[in-house]
Amino acid sequence: MQTELSKTLGVEHAVFGFTPFPAVAAAISRAGGFGVLGAVRYTAPDELKRDLDWIEAHVDGRPYGLDVVMPAKKVEGVTEADVEAMIPESHRQFVKDTLTRYGVPELAEGETSGWRITGWMEQVARTQLDVAFDYPIKLLANALGSPPTDVIDRAHEQDVLVAALAGSARHARKHADAGIDVVVAQGYEAGGHTGEIASMVLTPEVVDAVDPLPVLAAGGIGSGRQVAAALALGAQGVWLGSIWLTTTEAELPSPRLIEKLFAAGSGDTVRSRALTGKPARQLRTEWTDAWDDPEGPGALPMPLQGLLVAEAVSRIQKYEVEPLLGTPVGQIVGRMNSERSVQAVFDDLTRGFEKAVDRVNRIAGRSTEQ
Amino acid sequence: MQTELSKTLGVEHAVFGFTPFPAVAAAISRAGGFGVLGAVRYTAPDELKRDLDWIEAHVDGRPYGLDVVMPAKKVEGVTEADVEAMIPESHRQFVKDTLTRYGVPELAEGETSGWRITGWMEQVARTQLDVAFDYPIKLLANALGSPPTDVIDRAHEQDVLVAALAGSARHARKHADAGIDVVVAQGYEAGGHTGEIASMVLTPEVVDAVDPLPVLAAGGIGSGRQVAAALALGAQGVWLGSIWLTTTEAELPSPRLIEKLFAAGSGDTVRSRALTGKPARQLRTEWTDAWDDPEGPGALPMPLQGLLVAEAVSRIQKYEVEPLLGTPVGQIVGRMNSERSVQAVFDDLTRGFEKAVDRVNRIAGRSTEQ
């Protein structure tokens, strides 16, 4: 499964795997794909350094990348405390009341939220980059618009390709103008932050909008048939996130959450602002329902909502409070029904891809011989 | 572009075109696809008869089909007047106020709403079927669940295949259990009534759920790349509706509406209950905004909403009141930018399909020779 982009990066298959787990990222690269470690959950540079060291030791010299969450526009002099101060008391009370209603225990004294997401703050993202550029990463992706120009320049000086996520053709063209190298077209059906345009429509639109830049299709892809479809739409590769969550190498902290993922159908996700304040696809839970309820206070804008719910999400996850327990995941969750190794997922993707190509050739009246 | 289903139906390309316009349906069949005439807008059996006669005279002996909107469950003894009586006065007032605010003129005295949609009522649909079964239709599709058993039996006696639309795998399995022959998997990005699962995810789910029944992919398809993608996902054909709206053969009553369709991007549609009371994708307008506004009265359930707004929609269309003027259409509207003949659309689809197959073969490392 070779495209110009996969050849440039020196990988066997044009399959890019985004994951917060170093063991998954390394396994994806070892399997012949391109593992991309999500950095947003790292608050301390040392932790990122430790995990990149681990990847280096386990990747067998294969290429890999890093995904940061960095705003293109600098917000000068705003501290986390300033942002905290903008959260209305009524919203804090709604969080408390909801947690109380479901009997969610408090964290132990001195215990801090492991899920506090501050990686979106520019100073945190920059510290992450200072660490990352000491490693031979081949791709730097940004989930929040184009990275600042100096970051793009620094990446290019070190022969690192820069990728950015886009949910519309207009958004993708802005990235291209900013000088990025790869666009990830993130469809409506994807997990995490998404727009409203589905992959079937978005992928070719973005491909045409930024031609000749390579486009990766993201959203709704978890089988070889879907890989073939994305490549037929003009993508130079696929970007998969959700499918790795239930692999053997993943380290989801909650067995009950894994069971919920196995049980969920493709209709059991929702695009909700509950997690970060921006619409992000995730498992639909009584927690997302509470925030999406028109009778409730509604989610705050980004980044307020993320700060508001950080501790609550930690408590829900730690104590595995079933009705509230969720995670960002795409509609492909309907096909995540048992634990498999990353290699098994890969074998399934490549076998399924070959069969889909056979199928399309038969329909086109062509020989299916290789 | 040949599949088992296209061979069964005796068409050259596995492209099914749904349209309310007889000239478009006939042109699709003449171009080597399978034209399906939507019957929901016909209130009088004679009009349907006239249009089927026209198709017979212009289809050069090629096969075609009919699409009705028929509830599986019979609602005994309910008349249109009974349903009208269930509409709250406050909703009627909201319609009046909105039309007044935009200065929408009244219809002329004695003029009735041409867009009054009563085809969903079982007696109307049955009258349509009595007409249709006198013609050599090859496929009968139902947009509202499986048709009643006696209708399926009657179709099968006349060698007519029965198709039903589904927005989920569960829905599709119910159709299969009811004895239908073909499932149309209608993705989130489609125009008209849709669910929330995007084609990339829905198509393979439905294919697996009803195997070995053939599945047509609907939603987001308007180019050859998208046709190739849908077939890679396992569909035995594609079902296109929106793309024909701006063809030369179509008879949209409003030049301004056509201009709006040309100008609209893929992000300019909305899944709204404004039209029928069920979520249906359509151009986003100030009319849909009014019904989707949480401060407003909100849309009534089906079939009340359709009756409530029928005359208003007729007035908006007749007088081409720009900000309110809309139509059901899918996200593919972003690619409907100029008038083309049905044959030109077909040529584009088949050429684009061949190029997409070439592309996927190159990526798979296979020869692209035919």
Q: What is the pLDDT of residues A259-311, one digit of tens each?
A: 999 999 999 999 999 998 999 999 999 999 999 998 999 999 988 898 899 99
Q: Structurally, how many domains does chain A consist of? A: 1
What does the pLDDT read at residue A127? 87
ipTM of the assembly? Answer: 0.95
What does the pLDDT read at residue B113? 62
Percent above pLDDT 70 for chain B: 95
Tell me the shortest Cα–Cα distance from A351 to chain B, in angstroms. Answer: 11
What does the pLDDT read at residue B73? 65
What does the pLDDT read at residue A270? 98
Is A329 a member of any domain?
Answer: no
What does the pLDDT read at residue B146? 87
> CB burial class (10 A; 0-12, 13-18, 19+) of residue B326?
buried
Contact: A168, B198; criterion CB under 8 Å: no
Per-residue model confidence as pLDDT tens digits over B223-257: 999 999 999 999 999 999 999 999 999 998 899 99
Is A150 a member of any domain?
Answer: yes
Per-residue model confidence as pLDDT tens digits over A46-89: 999 999 999 999 999 999 999 988 776 666 667 778 888 899 99
- Over residues B131-141, the mean pLDDT reads 96
> Residues B137, B274: one domain?
no
Q: What is the dihedral of CA B225, B229, B230, B236, to 10 degrees?
A: 90
Is A180 a member of any domain?
Answer: yes
> Residues B264, B349: one domain?
no
- Over residues A196-214, the mean pLDDT reads 98
Tell me the shortest Cα–Cα distance from B204 to chain A, in angstroms. Answer: 8
Lowest mean pLDDT among A90-94, A334-338, B67-71: B67-71
**pLDDT of A133 strictly over 90:** yes
Which residue is it, tokens 């949609």? Answer: B117
What does the pLDDT read at residue A246? 98
Per-residue model confidence as pLDDT tens digits over A4-34: 999 999 999 999 999 999 999 999 999 999 9
**pLDDT of B90 strictly over 60:** yes
| Among the partner residues B3, B221, B267, nearest to A363 by beta-carbon distance | B3
Determine the Cα–Cα distance for residues A136 and A64; give it in Å rounded to an integer: 8
- Over residues A234-243, the mean pLDDT reads 98
**Which chain A residues touch B200 with a CB distance below 8 Å?**
187, 189, 198-200, 219-221, 226, 229-230
Per-residue model confidence as pLDDT tens digits over B288-321: 999 999 899 999 998 889 889 999 999 999 999 9
> CB burial class (10 A; 0-12, 13-18, 19+) of residue B34?
buried
- Confidence band, pLDDT 50/70/90 cuts, at residue B334: very high
> Residues B42, B165: one domain?
yes
- Give the domain extent around B349: 1-71+120-248+344-370
**Which chain B residues touch A267 with a CB distance below 8 Å?**
168, 195-197
Give the domain CATH number at A13. Answer: 3.20.20.70
| Among the partner residues B1, B201, B335, nearest to A332 by beta-carbon distance | B201
- Over residues B328-338, the mean pLDDT reads 97
Type of residue found at B271: R
Tell me the shortest Cα–Cα distance from A228 to chain B, in angstroms. Answer: 6
Contacts of B175 by beta carbon, 8 Å cutoff, 6+ apart: B145, B146, B164, B166, B183, B210
**Which chain B residues touch A197 with a CB distance below 8 Å?**
189, 266-267, 331
Determine the Cα–Cα distance for residues B106 and A276; give it in Å rounded to an integer: 47
Q: Residue A202's closest chain B neighbor by CA?
A: B266
> Residues B62, B167: one domain?
yes
Helix (H/G/I), strand (E/B), else coil: B149: helix
What does the pLDDT read at residue B40? 83
- Confidence band, pLDDT 50/70/90 cuts, at residue B108: confident
What does the pLDDT read at residue B167? 97
Angle at A277 between CA A275 and CA A280, to 5 degrees: 60
Tell me the shortest Cα–Cα distance from B172 to chain A, in angstroms. Answer: 14
- Confidence band, pLDDT 50/70/90 cuts, at residue B117: low
How many CB pairs below 8 Å do chains A and B form together?
178
Contact: A226, B204; criterion CB under 8 Å: yes
Per-residue model confidence as pLDDT tens digits over A157-168: 999 999 999 999
What does the pLDDT read at residue B126? 84
**pLDDT of B114 strictly over 60:** no
> Residues B268, B335: one domain?
yes
Are the C-beta atoms of residues A332 and A342 closer than 8 Å to each other? no
Average pLDDT for chain B = 93
> Residues B231, B178: one domain?
yes
| Among the partner residues A187, A357, A361, nearest to B200 by beta-carbon distance | A187
> Residues B308, B358: one domain?
no
Is A41 a member of any domain?
Answer: yes
**pLDDT of B265 strictly over 70:** yes
**Which chain B residues touch A367 with a CB distance below 8 Å?**
367, 369-370
Tell me the shortest Cα–Cα distance from B269 to chain A, in angstroms. Answer: 10
Determine the Cα–Cα distance for residues A260 and A258; give it in Å rounded to an integer: 5
**pLDDT of A116 strictly over 60:** no
**pLDDT of B119 strictly over 80:** no
Contacts of A20 by beta carbon, 8 Å cutoff, 6+ apart: A37, A38, A40, A41
- Confidence band, pLDDT 50/70/90 cuts, at residue B83: confident
Q: Residue B167's closest chain A neighbor by CA?
A: A267
Is A82 a member of any domain?
Answer: no
What does the pLDDT read at residue A273? 97
What does the pLDDT read at residue B125? 80
**pLDDT of A114 strictly over 70:** no
Contact: B232, A356; criterion CB under 8 Å: yes
| Among the partner residues B188, B231, B366, nearest to A188 by beta-carbon distance | B188
The string over B175-203, giving b where at least 16 C-beta atoms fall within 10 Å of a residue's C-beta and e elsewhere, is bbebebbbbbbbbbbbbbbbbbbbbbbbb
Are the C-beta atoms of residues B67 and B143 closer than 8 Å to each other? yes
